[in-house]
Amino acid sequence: AQKITQTQPGMFVQEKEAVTLDCTYDTSDQSYGLFWYKQPSSGEMIFLIYQGSYDEQNATEGRYSLNFQKARKSANLVISASQLGDSAMYFCAMREGLNNAGNMLTFGGGTRLMVKP
């Protein structure tokens, strides 16, 4: 089974509107972390936001927020007030806690976001 699933291969959003990018995960660990990265066309991976499994509050970082629903095993990224520069690939990733001394991440397949002017 996929550990990280991003079901939206591509999405369009109008500039200045909000958009939600979906991410569901699968783990039996109680301790884990969820990360979102942005990858522009130039290729670098930019860290956006992190949510720990024990965090009671949803993470926020500027225009980015994470809608964390632990029982549903979802960690959706919400981008408010979209800008043209938000057009990129977005990846959800998970670090599981147990037996992961290497701090390894598992990545989803990504969602390509396109912001329309």
Residues of this chain that interact with another protein (CB under 8 A) are 4, 33, 35, 37, 42-47, 50, 52, 91, 95, 101-105, 107-110
Q: Which residues pair with 49 in a beta bridge?
A: 36
When the beta carbons of 14 and 30 are compared against another protein, the nearer one is 30
To another protein, the closest distance from the beta carbon of 39 in angstroms equals 9
Q: Helices in the chain by DSSP H: which ranges? A: none
Q: Is 56 or 117 the residue whose CB approaches another protein more closely?
A: 56
To another protein, the closest distance from the beta carbon of 5 in angstroms equals 11
What does the alpha-carbon distance between residue 115 and residue 87 come to, in Å, rounded to a whole number? 5
Dist CA 50 CA 59 (whole Å):
7
Give the amino acid at 86.
Answer: D
